[in-house]
Amino acid sequence: MAIKLERFRDPYLGRTWEELGARVLSSGNRVSITLGYPAKGLKKSLGAQLAEYLASEHVDLELRFASPQGKGFGGIRHIIAVASGKGGVGKSTTAVNLALALDREGAKAGLLDADIYGPSQGMMLGVPQGCRPEIVDEQHFAPVKAHGLQTMSMSYLTDENMPMVWRGPMASGALQQLINQTLWEDLDYLIVDMPPGTGDIQLTLSQQVPVSGAVIVTTPQDVALLDARKGIEMFRKVDIPVLGVVENMSLYRCPECGARSYVFGEGGGERVAREFGVPLLAELPLDLSIREQTDGGRPSVVADPDGEIAGIYADAARHMAARLWVGDQAGGPTIAIVDD
């Protein structure tokens, strides 16, 4: 009996491509798969898995991406909030690398710096100080392009050293302007770098913007995990699905002997993810290169695209996007199998 490719289980979702609505075409050892998440970097490993599944020596795999429609607005299909319960856990670094990874995997991605009081994405992306977005029709901003991303940040509109001494309503209003008055161009995903905590900005985003899902960033230490739980509960209360947890500073590897040290504790992110029934998307090591590359305006995914760290971010981005695909099955593509 012939093996049917539509019964192959997706590596991230654990469900068959038939259940997920993937488009599968095959002719001999040539296979074309259209998935609802970007996965260019998965081609080699997935090709090997399919060859084993089909008991074939080789599969000539063509991997395509069909963006789910989502529930965004304007030219944006999906809006994803990257949040943390507290500051200092690497949320902004995670946000910029996830956005860059989505772009590298084949999606059209954008990045909105919603940290009104402490915008940092301009520096992380290497955007020159004093760069201002182009004004269109005297009422809209053209997004600033950086490393292939469409971006917008309060840092593009103010002096880098000027503090935003604003009350909550003013900050919330500024966020709405950045989102609604930016001419985002046909984005599959807009990553929103949220400020830490569970305050006005988070409420404004959840109530005024159709957010598709959220990613929670934490470190393994107990105080960070406590705040991460609060962040997850906040998104649940406003009916925004949590797509997963990213744990930063998971461990330190000695560059001389390779010994591992769990400086901030061990397994905290995994425990929180398991507690709330969401996946652990990534465990990032405490690595000097991540900080140096981001501070230098070339985050890990750009500075070392074939390195281990970039690979971890790419895997997290694919898994995150795959989780969004699950919610868009009603309008998903059909399956067609051709065998000759």
pLDDT score at 114: 87
pLDDT of residue 162: 64
What's the pLDDT score for residue 333? 37
The whole-number pLDDT of residue 334 equals 34
What is the sign of the dihedral through the CA atoms of 67, 73, 74 and 76?
negative
Locate tokens 């053209």: which residue? 142
pLDDT of residue 46: 95
| Regions of the chain where pLDDT drops below 70 | 1-2, 159-168, 327-340
Query: At a CB cut-off of 8 Å and minimum separation 6, what does 248 contact?
Result: 89, 90, 93, 94, 217, 218, 219, 284, 286
Measured from the Cβ of residue 271, the count of other Cβ atoms closer than 10 Å reads 16
Strand partners, 76: 187
Q: What is the pLDDT of residue 167?
A: 67
* C-alpha Rg value of the chain to the nearest Å: 20
Domains and CATH numbers, the chain: 5-68 (no CATH), 76-326 (3.40.50.300)
What is this structure's pTM?
0.91
Q: Is 294 helix (H, G, I), strand (E, B) or coil?
A: helix
- What pLDDT was estimated at residue 138? 86
Q: How confident is the model at residue 337, as a pLDDT?
A: 35
Q: Supply the DSSP string of 40-61, one letter for each residue.
A: GGGHHHHHHHHHHHTT-S--EE
Question: What is the reported pLDDT for 69?
Answer: 84
Taking CA atoms, 42 is separated from 31, 65, 85, 262, 283, in Å, by 14, 12, 32, 30, 19
Helices (H) and strands (E) in the chain, counts: 11, 15
